[in-house]
Amino acid sequence: MTIGKLNESPLHEALKDLYSVADARQEVAIERFVADVVHPDEVIYEIQTAGFGRMRRKLETLLETRRVVLVHPVVAVRYIHKLGGDPDTEIRPRRSPRRGRPADVLQELVSIPDLLAHPNFELEVVMVELDEFRVPGPVRRRAGWRVVERRLRDVLGRHRYRVPEDLFGLLAGVPPEPFSTRELALAMGAPRALAQKLAYCLRACGLIEPSGKTANTVLYQVRDPGGSGPRGSA
């Protein structure tokens, strides 16, 4: 078995192939950028594992003339392969106890939440099962194991977000108002840090707004669908 250089190209390439329907084109030059996959209907599929903020200029340019679906993989199941000095020795993978969730996309979406309101933009979260290969090496200046390659095993599900309101689907239900990020976290079944990112995205999209404080905690309420302020306001 030969492991490549430090990158995520096998995962990226596998996802490009996954989204390449019949007659789709890959690596297409558009304006001054290169689109990952372009379907026959000219819809662009951009595969991005991290760094949404770095893509803003590219996305804004492509969205001027095309529909763009930003595809983000979230690892639901991970098999860890730790490699020694001999890459041809037998590898015994260990299944990681960590499981990703669709809401993990918020870690990246906080960089470009406003784009979800663009009529040409959609976001698709792909829940994946993959093999992750690691070798001994420094991680953040400390001894450990660094990732050298990720390979797609299977696709376990897909979640499409077409409009900002779809983000409410990350909740079991909108908490009674006013609510804090603590109540959002309970409704998500996720850590509060992730709920804070959801609140940021919802607020950036104009779906919720502050309605006061209790101690040092900001409280929120859902804005009126008409955009005139809180629901029920005159």
Query: Under CATH, which architecture does the 169-222 domain have?
Result: Orthogonal Bundle (1.10)
Residue 15 has pLDDT above 80, yes or no: yes
Residue 209: what pLDDT? 96
Residue 220: what pLDDT? 97
Percent of the chain with pLDDT over 90: 75
Residue 139: what pLDDT? 64
Give the start-to-end residue ranges of the domains of the chain: 9-162, 169-222
Tell me which H or E stretch contains 11.
helix 9-18
What is the DSSP track for 12-57? HHHHHHHT--TT-EEEEEETTEEEEEE-TT--EEEE-SS-GGGGHH
pLDDT per position as a tens digit, 154-195: 999 999 999 999 999 999 999 999 999 999 999 999 999 999
Cβ-contact 41, 17 below 8 angstroms: no
Residue 90: what pLDDT? 58
Nearest to 157 by CA among 76, 59, 220, 94: 76
The whole-number average pLDDT for the span 123-135 is 94
- The dihedral region occupied by 151, where left means phi > 0, alpha psi between -120 and 50, and beta the remainder, is beta
**Crossing angle, helix 192-204 and helix 181-188, to 10 degrees?**
110
